[in-house]
Amino acid sequence: MGIKDKKAMKAASEAMEEALAKFQTACGNDGSSCEIDWSNWDNYDYDKMSGSRPKEDVIESAGTLLSDVIGEMATLCSDEDYKEELATITKIAVTGKEDQDSMYVDFALDGTTLNLALNADAFGSWKNADLLKEVWD
């Protein structure tokens, strides 16, 4: 990991933390946390990704995607039924998918931890909101 990559990771983490604060306010779970496991991100073939963007741009874009997804979680808290479920989340654990072709976020609930798996080249989509809802449907 070079300096540009580390700066991109920091920017992605900061975007995620900003979204987490909004989620905490909307859902009433101030003690929740969020962390990114960056280990799979070194294994991607960044030359094959969309837009031929530099690695650091792809990494930083993960922050935008996470901000959108966590923002959708905050929006879901306007529905009392979803809010009741989302308020129990104590941790959001983010990992990178091994499959570079998988373009949507995978969501899985493990007790009070919401696991998010995303591809480094994934994109924001209305479908991610539907996939999130499926955790409780």
Please indicate whether residue 107 or residue 61 has the higher confidence score (pLDDT): 107
User: How confident is the model over 27-84, as pLDDT tens digits?
Assistant: 998 889 999 998 888 777 777 776 677 888 888 888 888 999 999 999 999 999 999 9
Provide the pLDDT for residue 124: 66
Q: What is the mean pLDDT of the chain?
A: 88
Closest C-alpha among 76, 79, 134, 131 to residue 105: 131
Provide the pLDDT for residue 53: 78
Confidence of residue 104 (pLDDT cuts 50, 70, 90): confident
Mean pLDDT computed over 14-19: 94
Mean pLDDT computed over 114-127: 80
Tell me the pTM.
Answer: 0.89
Instruction: Report DSSP letters for the chain, one per residue.
Output: --HHHHHHHHHHHHHHHHHHHHHHHHHT-TT-EEEEE-GGGGGS-GGGSGGG--HHHHHHHHHHHHHHHHHHHHHHTTSHHHHHHHTT--EEEEEE-S-TT--S-EEEEETTEEEEEE-TT----HHHHHHHHTTT-
